[in-house]
Amino acid sequence: MDQEYIAQTALDQMVGTDQGQLLKALIPYFPPRQQQFLSVFAKARELSNTVALFTKPSEAMHIQAAAAPAQPLEVINDLRRYCFGDIRKTLDQITNMMTMAEMLRMMNEPSPEDNCEEERQ
């Protein structure tokens, strides 16, 4: 059976539950008054799980930092998986600008052939 992947941050994976996701998915099907209560209830459970995560030293948070400093484009591409709408468009624009800047930098670097010509003269 195929499972559809839902992108979640490492923190969401640690503090969220399948039941919590189901509850949040059901909220639009309730009347407004119940939507408000269920929304607050779902977020309160996540907050409670977050507090518990940090107060249990034996189960310390294991969000791993990269061993080597990440390159800006790697960070942007990783963040993009969790974004949508205007933020995703902005990240795409930043990525495109950084790519163009790198291309311009490469085009303006002297080629090894140019260095050989200068040495001969």
- Residue 15's Cβ-count burial label (10 Å; 0-12, 13-18, 19+) is buried
Q: What is the pTM of this model?
A: 0.59
CB 9 within 8 A of CB 82: yes
Mark which of 64, 91, 111 sits at the end of a domain.
64
CA atoms within 13 A on the CB side of 32: 0
Tokens of 53: 């995560």
Do residues 95 and 78 both lie within one domain?
yes
Q: What is the pLDDT, as a whole number, of residue 59?
A: 46
The percent of residues in the chain predicted with pLDDT above 90, rounded, is 35
Do residues 101 and 47 both lie within one domain?
no
**How far from the centroid of its chain's Cα atoms is residue 92's Cα?**
13
Kindly report, residue by residue over 27-81, the tens digit of the pLDDT. Answer: 999 999 999 999 999 999 999 998 988 887 554 455 555 556 678 888 888 888 8
Q: What's the average model confidence in pLDDT over 81-109?
A: 90
What b/e readout covers 60-73, taking b as 16+ CB neighbours within 10 angstroms?
Answer: eeeeeeeeeeeeee
Q: What is the pLDDT, as a whole number, of residue 46?
A: 93
Mark which of 47, 64, 81 sits at the end of a domain.
64
One-letter identity of residue 52:
A
Q: For residue 1, what pLDDT band results from cuts at 50, 70 and 90? A: very low
Mark which of 64, 98, 113 sits at the end of a domain.
64
Domain boundaries, position 72:
65-121
